[in-house]
Amino acid sequence: MGNYLGIDIGGTNIGFGIVSENGAFLYENSIPTENMKTAEELADYIFEDVKKKGEFIGIGIGAPSVNQNTQCIEFAPNMNWGDVVDLNGIFTKKFNRTVFVINDANAAALGEKFYGEAKEMSNFAVITLGTGVGMGMYINDQLVLGKNGLAGEIGHSIIQREGRECKCGNHGCLETYVAKDGIVNTAKEKLEFSSGSSILNLIPPSDLTPTEIFKAARKEDPVALEVVDSVGKDLAFSISNLMNILDLECVFLTGGISNNGNLLKRKVEKHLKGYLLPNLHDKSQVRISILNQQNSGILGAVAAINSQLKIALT
């Protein structure tokens, strides 16, 4: 049994840690993504940080917009490291270890399968909610990658034609309504037409965050409740399409936005019933990932490199 270095590259933060094969964290750290101007700079930073923290036999990296076939980040809307970034090559050269790069949402799905509540499930999806929105899917007990290794971009499925402009270049993407900036934008729109009595009016627009909005909703603030209900409705709409088409056992929610737990789950479930086929009402469920209290992205990246090294040895 060996240890692994797991790296979770997000639009806001980059988490990394040395993790044992059974999922125990031996070391963990994080850094704001904006502090790293290039992937090479990130590799140098992590190398210096972990070199005296413990040995590891391989490196798993979860990142947005990864092409599974090329192991590169390709045209990530929320990253500024260039159009195509060869993460595998950069980290292999720096660390001289086996490296496996995987889409961050696929990593989350692997983490759920290896270490979470999906161990006995054959058909499920994990939706990551943070700076962006991603998805990893297990269908018939296999991780779905697609022809080009790009499957699962639910954040860029259209929920409103001619809706908000998205960083991907399209309009009306789910991400523009239920990711970090999308939730804040919805709140700002609703505050424009409110009476000014909302708790959210006391927060400078530049300081408004999903955390503050959900906090206000728990205090029964009417504007915040409208925003959270809108997020739940849009998310339920997209989840219902998945469940109706793929007959999933469960959809797990993970990432920073899902830290709002039961409130978010209740809103999604409230609207989901109206969109689901009647014969699926009691057969499909939404859960907040139990791995969210740890760094599920790091665990997923570790699960990815663990499984790859095992395949290589067979």
In this structure, are residues 298 and 16 in contact, taking their beta carbons and an 8 Å threshold?
yes
Task: State which fold the 117-288 domain adopts.
Answer: Nucleotidyltransferase; domain 5 (3.30.420)
- The Cα–Cα gap between 128 and 78 comes to 14
**31-68 per-position pLDDT tens digit:** 999 999 999 999 999 999 999 999 999 999 999 888 88
**What is the reported pTM?**
0.88
Decide: 79 and 87 in contact? Cβ < 8 Å.
Answer: no
Q: Tell me: the pLDDT tens digits for 123-176? A: 999 999 998 999 999 999 999 988 877 889 999 999 999 999 999 899 999 999
Superfamily of domain 3-103+294-313: ATPase, nucleotide binding domain (3.30.420.40)
Q: Is the dihedral of CA 289, 294, 300, 306 positive or negative?
A: negative
Nearest to 42 by CA among 72, 15, 76: 15
Per-residue burial over 247-258, b = 16 or more CB atoms within 10 Å of its CB, e = otherwise: ebbbbbbbbbbb
| Same fold flag, 3-103+294-313 and 117-288 | yes
For the stretch 13-32, pLDDT in tens is 999 999 998 889 999 999 99
Where in the chain are the domains? 3-103+294-313, 117-288
